[in-house]
Structures are given as C-alpha cells and as structure tokens.
A and B are shown apart, each in its own frame.
Chain A
C-alpha cells in the first residue's frame, strides 16, 4: 500500500477523534487551550508510533491467545518512558497534563491500532499508520483546543485575537468541552458528506 496514502487515511478518512470517536477522555480533558491540546496529541503520537513499530515487529512471536495483555505491556512500557522523559525535561507541561499522561495506556486509539493495523502489516507501514493517526489526533486536539481557547479567552496559543472580556469562560470549563466537540463533529460530518 502507498505509504503516503496510509498517512493521509489516518488524518482524514480514519480520523481518530471525529470519525472513529476514540480517545475521548484526553480529547475533552486536555483541550482547555491550543497548547495543551497539541502537547497531548504529540505525546500520544510518540507513544503510538513506538508501540505500532514494536508490535508489528513482535507479531510473529506473540501467541494469539495472549496478544491483548502483551500489547498492553508494550504500550505501558512506552508510556512509562514518556512519563519519565516529561518529568525530566518538561516538568511544567507534565504538571499541566497531569493524570492524562499515565492514562495514555488506556487510550483506545493505541490498542485499537495495534489490533486493527500493526498486527497485520509490515513495520514501515505500521510506523506510517502511527504517524497518520497520530497527526490526525494532534490536529483534532489542537483545533478543538484553539476553538475553546478563542471562544473562552479570545486568544489562540496565547496571542490575543479579541479582548478577553468578550470571551465566555464556559468554553474553557467542562461544559464547553462537550458542546464545542459536539458542534465540531457535526461540522466534520456535514463537510465529509457534502464535499
């Protein structure tokens, strides 16, 4: 399969957030601003690429009956590595994302791609799939974070677009996360069906 096509598929046709509706917890929980959303997306993408690569290398050695626990151990290992790297080099960001970093382990995107893609394709194709799905997830999170930050505080990535007093704080808080995501999924649906 064409490698570029695998990457593009991950971003648009199989977009993990807007189409597959996977990994909803970090999608809602870390998109209070564009920056945190993007960081969470990149962190997940790093783990996804590594775990896809490792699982597709191991696919001949893992017995079929115990494959799910094996995948979970592989994913948890990479998450632990990520956690230690972030605590060492980006402690402020680690504090901001908080519990959502260890919770990458139970993000359905990782296990889903391991089972649906990496266990059946070559290493290079699996890495491409990791890049594509990871980019799709990062873009979705950044977009949602930017929308919430703009509506809530009038800024994107901290740059003021309009005065903060006109923003409505509810979009930065919990209810705004659900509402903004609902409207964005609807937008994605209507654009996809009537191009």
Chain B
C-alpha cells in the first residue's frame, strides 16, 4: 500500500510529468488558454494514458519479450497508441455522445502527446508490475491535469495584464510563468514516503 501511495505522490507532485520531466509540453502550451479546455484535455489524457499503458505493458511482457523482439518497442507502442485513440474515438462517439462532445476535440491531439508514449516506455524501463503501472499512469495524468489547470488560470490572468513588453507577449511570458510554476513545484522535491 505504501508503494502505491508513494507512486501517487511522486507522480503528481515531486516528479510532475510536465514541470519536471518535460513531457507533454505541446498541449501544456497549446491548450492552456482557457480553464475549461485544460480540464477537458486532462480528462482525455487520463483516459488514454491509463488504457494505453495497460495495453502496452501486456504487449511488452506477453508478446515482445517471449519473441525477443524488444527492439520493436517504439514502433509497436506508437502504433498501438495511435490505433487505440482512433478506436476510442469511435467507441465513445457511439456509446456516450455526451462524453464525446466534451472530449472529442482533444482525442486526435493525444496521439502526438509525448507524455502518453513517454509513460508507456518509462513504466517498462522502471520495471513496474501491471498494478503499479496503471496507478502510475493514472496519477501522472492527474499531475498533468493539475499543471495544465494551474497554468490555464495564470494565463487567463496574463491576458488581462497590460504593460507586457511587445516582444514578451504571448508565448515568451507564458514560458517564464511556467518556469516560476516549476520553481514552486520544486518545493515538493525531497519529500519521501
């Protein structure tokens, strides 16, 4: 139980996927203009990340390892994630139209979200078992959503701010704010459970 708790705390706060591991920066900058879209993106990522990590973990240990074709990892994983996203889009559209309206726009963007492939590979490199992998994927997604929501709140305020130098407007000042946010998250490092 303590291992699970430590995985959760580490993935959300100490080793936040965006602010200290630099994965998933593109949606972090691209989809963080408004709080509602940030939360939608976070939910879609949580869904896909948990599912794809479970599937790629099973594939790694029951297909790639027995056949000794570990070098195919990158190709297999990215194809699985891409097709999973496509299938998920079709299934959600059919079964839960309400959910589709909320998440639909974000799903195609997720294929090129490096956090999803990153977590699938990190889990294998870290020798986690299936339960730990799923918990890790889910809590990483929570950390991603937390960072995205915090950043969206900051950016909404930034847009109202006047007096930002012309060259700094838009992405540059947002990046500096992200740096300050990362600095704040560094306060969590050193926590051990």
- B154 in the interface, Cβ–Cβ < 8 Å? no
In the complex, what residue of chain A is closest to B74 when comparing beta carbons?
Answer: A102
Interface residues of B (CB under 8 A from A): 19-26, 29, 71-75, 78-79, 82, 111-114, 117-118, 121-122, 125, 165-168, 171-176, 178-180, 182-183, 186
**Complex alpha-carbon distance, A80 and B121, angstroms:** 14
- A182 in the interface, Cβ–Cβ < 8 Å? yes
Given A111-B112, A185-B171, residue A178 in contact with residue B176 (CB < 8 A):
yes
Taken residue by residue from 115 to 146, chain A's Cβ proximity to chain B (1 for < 8 Å, 0 otherwise) reads as 00000000000000000000000000000000
Given contacts A178-B176, A179-B179, 9 further A-B contacts (CB under 8 A): A25-B23, A83-B74, A102-B73, A176-B179, A182-B171, A182-B176, A182-B179, A187-B167, A193-B167
Q: Is the Cβ of A189 less than 8 Å from the Cβ of B117? A: no
**Complex alpha-carbon distance, A28 and B175, angstroms:** 11
Contacting residue for A106 out of B19, B114, B172, CB 8 A: B114
Chain B nearest CB: distance from A3 CB in Å? 29
In the complex, what residue of chain B is closest to A111 when comparing beta carbons?
Answer: B112
Q: Is the Cβ of A190 less than 8 Å from the Cβ of B167? A: yes
Q: How many A-B residue pairs have CB under 8 A?
A: 114
A and B contact pairs by CB, cutoff 8 A, 24 listed: A22-B26, A25-B25, A25-B114, A72-B79, A73-B79, A76-B74, A83-B74, A99-B122, A102-B74, A102-B121, A105-B117, A107-B114, A108-B26, A174-B19, A174-B20, A175-B182, A176-B179, A185-B172, A185-B175, A186-B165, A186-B167, A186-B173, A187-B167, A193-B167
Chain A nearest CB: distance from B29 CB in Å? 7
Contacting residue for B182 out of A24, A108, A111, A174, CB 8 A: A174
- A183 in the interface, Cβ–Cβ < 8 Å? yes
Question: Which residues of the partner chain B approach A174 to less than 8 Å between Cβ atoms?
Answer: 19-20, 22, 182, 186
**Complex alpha-carbon distance, A11 and B178, angstroms:** 26
By secondary structure, the B interface counts as helix
Chain A nearest CB: distance from B58 CB in Å? 19
- A29 in the interface, Cβ–Cβ < 8 Å? yes
Interface residues of A (CB under 8 A from B): 21-22, 24-25, 28-29, 69, 72-73, 76-77, 79-80, 83-84, 99, 102-103, 105-108, 111, 170, 173-179, 181-183, 185-187, 189-190, 193
Q: Is the Cβ of A72 less than 8 Å from the Cβ of B78? A: yes
Contacting residue for A80 out of B25, B71, B79, B165, CB 8 A: B71
Given A69-B82, A103-B118, A175-B183, residue A181 in contact with residue B175 (CB < 8 A):
yes
